Chains A and B, each alone.
Chain A
Amino acid sequence: MTSHPRPIEVTDVRLAYQLARNRAGTAKEHLINLMRRQVVYDKLWALDGVTFDVRRGEVFGIMGPNGAGKSTLLKCIAGVLHPTTGRVIVRGSVAPMIEVSGGMNPDLTGSENIVLLGTLLGQPPAQMRQRVDEIAEWAGLPHMMDVPIRAYSTGMRARLGFAINTDRKPDVLLIDEVFSVGDEAFKIKSLERIKYLMSGGTSVVIVTHALKTITDLCDRAIWLDQGHIKEQGPPEDVVAAYRGSI
């Protein structure tokens, strides 16, 4: 009975955001609304019955229009958000690049952020301190290591974040629109690294609007629309179906 469990299993996941109509931002307003019995909650199903799995060493694409639930789905896999019903199982270490500078602190310097983010991802800080030079080198930012990343450009932050997240081979790499901010050189370099990680068994999940990224990179893809999977399968087919709908 040796069936290899998949690194990512998403089973019938539904996730509701509670939206209070005339949403109260403050406790005072909320109390007033409560007394007037005006608090009505709407449930917005950001994800509504999503099922898929990702294999070892596979690049899996998630595409769809704005508000389709792509980022919510990625956050569910990252373990940040919890499905209202359904189940998410992730086996192995996760490197979540949910946002360009996610997990980094603008007031800390480049090297301080390397240690902090690395530790947040579960590495010992002492080990991260030894990795600073190499990570800075890869990101092409060795001269910027003592500068607070507040002063970095968006592209530079993305490079640093990618370098930290992929420094130790994660079992699962989650990427949300990171390529859109980097220049060509960064894109090529990071694609090389992704391929290298895949060969070592890392599963990659990419969320993007860019259809080209899906067809160029992914082994399989899903098209998400209003929390539903509209189409899944080989990227060419999914992209074609998506194109046909516009």
Chain B
Amino acid sequence: MGFDGEGIGHGLSTIRLPPRVANLVKFIVNSEPKVEYDSARPIRPLIDEFTSLWTHQQLIRLLTVRDLTLRYKRSVLGVWWTLLNPLLTAAVMWLVFSQIFNRVSEDVPFIIYLLSGILLISTFFAQGVLAAGSSLLSGGNILSKIRVPGEVFAFTAGLAAMVNFLIGLIPLLIIMVLTGTPIPWTVLLVPIPTFAMLCLVTGAGMLLAAAAVHFYDVLDFTRVLLQLSIWLVPTFYPLEMIPEKLQFIIKINPLFSYLEVFRGFVYRGEFAPTWNFVYMIGSALFFLTVGVWVFSKSWRQMVVKL
């Protein structure tokens, strides 16, 4: 009870106004700051996270640009590394694998097969998950001092990986033009697997981030696992190379479906089988939901350790 603030409210309360009007006037004139933070507010998994991504759009954009430019700030070639990295990997793999496989599995040049796989699995998936997983540790200086939702940092890392992937599509399309490979109209549908992959990367990255805050060696394990995952799907080699009996090991991996859908759109000009679409979207939603849920539930314990 009683007044302990100053302000115009006092003066107004002496004038008799209908209560509703008085409240409105007081609200406008006094413009009492609204409650910004209440530690007793219950956490709402998923709702809180998606709302905060929406309300922090400008911060996300800023952090993504910072992510993309800062990584190469001290190098001579700068952002061009974003383009060169997948190209060089593709070149090396091409040197190795074009000697091993004499039979051409598809009627496109092998380099296109390689580069499309590397961009999706290595540049987007593997690097994205790792970046999202370490995003809390690298953003610790901010997160332990300013109240910013942690999911913003994980999502930013996923977005940056997506931008790297999209930039990498430019040389892929250039190579297709140079090698006389027709560019199908289905290229316009590439945003579908791209968006699904963004969900997968963010979700898996958030799971990883939650674990990495508690035990730093989790990131080391993951680095090895991600290397392995690149080889567990036909990123570099044609699927036919694997004996028919064993191909299920590859097909059971959700990443295989992403590859099929993406390659179908980007140069085959065809839709991958329906089960690939179902598996892709299903796994994207599954990882996103579980990742965000776990992240949300463990955030308060995580931030203590940053």
A-to-B contact residues, CB < 8 Å: 1-7, 17-18, 24-28, 30, 55-57, 75-76, 78-83, 86-94, 96, 98-99, 101-105, 107-108, 112, 115-116, 119-121, 124-125, 171, 201
Contact = CB atoms under 8 A, between A and B. Distances in A.
Given A56-B5, A91-B36, A116 B304 contact: no
Nearest to B299: A82
Interface in B197-244: 211, 214-218, 221
A78 B5 contact: no
B26 interface: yes
Contacts of A1: 1
A55 B4 contact: yes
Contact of A87 (B38, B62, B216): B38
B245 interface: no
Given A80-B147, A93-B33, A119-B58, A27 B39 contact: no
Contacts of A86: 39
A41 B9 CA distance: 51
Given A80-B143, A103-B142, 19 more contacts: A3-B3, A4-B7, A25-B215, A26-B216, A79-B39, A81-B304, A82-B303, A83-B39, A87-B38, A90-B35, A91-B34, A91-B36, A92-B33, A96-B145, A101-B141, A103-B146, A107-B70, A125-B58, A125-B61
B177 interface: no
A57 B61 CA distance: 35
B259 to A, nearest CB: 30
B141 A102 contact: yes
A119 B2 CA distance: 37
The 10 A-B pairs with the shortest beta carbon distances in the complex, nearest first, are: A92-B33, A4-B5, A102-B145, A79-B147, A27-B215, A26-B217, A98-B145, A88-B39, A90-B37, A79-B37
Contacts of A80: 143-147, 303
A88 to B, nearest CB: 4
Contacts of A107: 70, 73
B103 interface: no
Nearest to B215: A27
A2 B37 contact: no
B148 to A, nearest CB: 6
B106 interface: no
B44 interface: no
Contacts of B66: 105, 108, 112, 116
A193 to B, nearest CB: 20
B32 interface: yes
B145 A27 contact: no
Contacts, number: 136
A5 B30 CA distance: 12
A28 B217 CA distance: 8
B188 interface: no
Contacts of B3: 2-4
Nearest to B55: A122
A64 to B, nearest CB: 20
A91 B37 CA distance: 7
B39 A82 contact: yes
A205 to B, nearest CB: 14
Contact of B5 (A18, A55, A94, A101): A55
A94 B146 CA distance: 9
Given A24-B215, A25-B215, A56 B6 contact: yes
B26 to A, nearest CB: 7
B31 to A, nearest CB: 10
B205 to A, nearest CB: 17
A78 B146 contact: yes
A99 to B, nearest CB: 6
Interface string B260-275: 0000000000000000
Contacts of A98: 144-146
Nearest to B5: A4
B300 interface: yes
B33 A4 contact: no
Most chain B beta-carbon contacts within 10 A, residue among A2, A28, A96, A108: A2
A2 B9 contact: yes
A43 to B, nearest CB: 13
A6 to B, nearest CB: 7
B98 interface: no
Nearest to B70: A107
A88 B98 CA distance: 64
Contacts of A91: 32-36
Interface string B40-73: 1000000000000000001101110010001001
B13 interface: yes
Interface in B1-19: 1-7, 9, 13
Contacts of B1: 1, 3
Contacts of B61: 125
